[in-house]
Amino acid sequence: MPVSHKAIEPTAEIHRYVVRHGRAADPLLEELAEVSREKFPAMGHMTLPLDEAALLGFLVRLTGASAIVEVGMFTGSSTIALARALPPGGRVLTCEIDARCAEIGESYLERAGVADRVDVRVGPALDTLRSLPGIAHLDLVFIDADKPGYLGYWDELVPRVRPGGLLVVDNTLFSGQVVDPAPGSKAAAVHAFNEHARADERVELVMMHLADGVTLARRLAEPAV
């Protein structure tokens, strides 16, 4: 029998309705999104949708996450969303390859009043991740960076997430191109990552048809020996 399909077409009107009913107004993030598009016209699409930023904050509060790693800061919308939701004493370590983006992000972290909760690391993310303790100590990670790097980031981070911790991965539908018969290189990398994550017995996951696709994965406990 066919699987029940109840999805509705994500029209602009529906999107406005969802955003209006799913998050409070956030003038600072709205301003940052505009500044990001002005400063980096070719990368403006990388700005995190505001409804997804609201989801990140919601997940941090829901899980009580206090040790967070982000791969892909860009100009800081997601970083601010994560840091605002931290409990007392919580920290976000965020990785960004582009110093220009990090500079803007750090200025907005200051304006958001969360700079003291965030450790910004500029440089290759894999180097930063490999420098972290190898034990399972992270509560939540967010991956939103170069698509060919997703597999490497995942494999470095999964062992470092505590049982019950959460991995959030953005752009896992890649504008729908993951189902194309002959996807481009970035879409093919995302598809390969999706298959890898789906087969990973260390997690249970769900893919959400939100924004450009968001995958949520919960770290499972190691099997008893």
CA within 13 Å, CB half, 202: 18
Beta-bridge mates of residue 166: 140, 218
- C-alpha 80/C-alpha 26 separation (Å) is 11
Q: Are 214 and 170 in contact (CB under 8 A)?
A: yes
pTM of the model: 0.92
Along the 225 residues of the chain, how does pLDDT read in single tens digits?
455 556 667 788 887 787 777 766 789 999 999 999 999 998 877 888 888 899 999 999 999 999 999 999 999 999 999 999 999 999 999 999 999 999 999 999 999 999 999 999 999 999 999 999 999 999 999 999 999 999 999 999 999 999 999 999 999 999 889 988 888 999 999 999 999 999 999 999 999 988 889 999 999 998 765
Nearest to 79 by CA among 38, 46, 112: 112
In the CATH hierarchy, which fold is given to the domain comprising 12-219? Rossmann fold (3.40.50)
Q: Tell me, what's the pLDDT at 1?
A: 47
For the sheet with 118-122, list strands across it: 118-122, 91-96, 67-71, 138-143, 161-170, 214-219, 203-208
Tokens representing 78 are 């997601």
Q: Tell me, what's the pLDDT at 113?
A: 97
Residue ranges covered by each domain of the chain: 12-219
